[in-house]
Chains A and B, each alone.
Chain A
Amino acid sequence: MKEILDDLISTKGVLGCYIVDKEGSIVDFKGAENIDENLISALVAEISNEIANQMNIPGNFSISALAGNGSIFMIAKKDFILTLLSTSDVDTGEVRLKLRRGAKLIAELL
C-alpha cells in the first residue's frame, strides 16, 4: 500500500494522499506534516456519506474539486476512500489516472 501512496505523492503538486475507511478513520497516508490527516479523513468520509445518502450512490464514484489555490480528488470504493490534496498547478489528468489505478490496486489488497 505504501508503494501506491509513494507513486501518488511523487506527482508534481501533490501535497498528500490518504486512504480512509467508510467510518472516517485513516487506514494509511503520506503527506505534508502541516495537513491534519484526521481532519481530512473525517471530512472526506462525511462528503462520501452525503453523496451516498442524498444521491443514493453507496460507492464507486469519484470527485474532483478544483479551487483557486488547490484541489481535492477522491475515489470512493465499497470499503474505502482514496483521497488526494494538491496545489492548483497539478496535472489533473495524471492525478485522476493515478488515483484510479491506485484505488483498483488497494481494492485488491483489502
Chain B
Amino acid sequence: MQDGLQSDANSLDVLLSLADLYVQNDLIEEAKALLKTAIEQNKDAVDPYCSLGKIYLKEGNRKRAIMILKQAEMIDPENKIIQDLLQATRKEEVVEELKVVERAEEKGELEEVEEVSGVPLEDLIKRELDKLLKGEGIMGIILVDEGGSLIYAELNLPLDEESTGAIINTIYNRINETVKDFDLGDLEEVIFELPGGNIFVLGTLSIRFIVLVKRDIHIASLEGEIREIFERTKAILEVD
C-alpha cells in the first residue's frame, strides 16, 4: 500500500496523512519510514521533518529530534512550528535534569544529586548563561534576587558584581513602582541605553536577569536570544 501510494500519488499531503494515520494506530516504525521517504522526495518541505521530529520527541529521543528539526530550521529558519518544537526539545532537557533533582530531594539525598545527574544546579545555570556570554557584544550577566542579592554573575568588565547587581536592581524596582502607579501591569523588561553600553534587565517577582551589552550592538538582534535563555534559567530555578 505504501509503495503504491508513493508511486501513484507521489503527493506529500498523502504521505503526511498516511504517516499521521500510522501514528494514530501506533504503527510508529511505519510512520517513521514513510516520513523519511517523504523527506527524500521533498527535500525543501519542512512538514515531514516536523512530523518526524514530533515522533522522536514523543519517544524521548531528544538527540534525533534536535537533529531532524535543525535540518528543517536550515530550510525555513523563521518557521514558528520548528522553533516551538526546538524549544520543546530544550525543555525536555531541563525537565530531565530537574526530575533527577526532585527525585533526590524526595529521598533527602540532595547532596547526592551532583553525583546522580552529574550536573549541579549552579552548573546548569552556568551552562545556560555561558551560551549567552559567547554571543557577540555580551559583556556580562548578573542574576540577582528581588532584594538585589547575587545569585550568579559572570562579567568581562572591571565592575564589582555584587554592587552592580544591587544598583541595577534598585533602579529596576523603582521603575517597577512607577509602572504600577500608572496601572501598566507588572514590569517585564527594562532596557537602559547608556553612554558606555546597554543593559537589559528581565524580571519576575523573584529574580532579575541582567545582561550587559556593548553600545554598538543592535538591541533587537539580541532580544530574542536573551529572552530564550532567561526562560530556561527561570525553568532551572523553578521561578515564574
B-binding residues in A (CB < 8 A): 35, 39-40, 43-44, 46-47, 50-51, 54-55, 57, 60-72, 85, 88, 93
Contacts and interface: CB of A to CB of B under 8 A. Distances in A.
A60 B195 contact: yes
Given A47-B175, A65-B175, A93-B220, A71 B191 contact: no
A108 to B, nearest CB: 20
B190 A68 contact: no
B144 to A, nearest CB: 15
Contacts of B190: 63-66
Majority SS of interface residues in chain A?
Answer: mixed
A43 B181 CA distance: 9
B84 interface: no
Given A66-B191, A67-B185, 16 more contacts: A44-B178, A47-B178, A51-B192, A54-B167, A54-B170, A57-B194, A61-B194, A63-B191, A63-B193, A64-B191, A67-B186, A68-B184, A68-B185, A72-B175, A72-B178, A93-B220
B175 A70 contact: no
A47 B170 CA distance: 10
Given A61-B192, A72-B178, A67 B171 contact: no
Contact of A61 (B179, B187, B193): B193
Interface of B: 167, 170-171, 174-175, 178-179, 181-195, 220
A62 B193 contact: yes
A46 B178 CA distance: 10
A1 B144 CA distance: 41
29 contacts: A35-B182, A44-B178, A47-B171, A47-B174, A47-B175, A47-B178, A51-B192, A54-B167, A54-B170, A55-B167, A55-B171, A55-B194, A57-B194, A61-B194, A64-B191, A64-B193, A65-B179, A65-B187, A65-B189, A66-B187, A66-B188, A66-B191, A67-B179, A67-B188, A68-B185, A69-B185, A72-B175, A72-B178, A72-B182
A50 B174 contact: yes
A61 to B, nearest CB: 5
A49 B49 CA distance: 54
Contacts of A40: 182
Nearest to B186: A68
B197 to A, nearest CB: 11
Contact of B175 (A55, A63, A85): A63
A9 to B, nearest CB: 16
A34 to B, nearest CB: 10
A71 B179 CA distance: 8
Contacts of B186: 67-68
CB-based closest 5 A-B pairs:
A68-B185, A69-B185, A70-B184, A67-B184, A62-B193
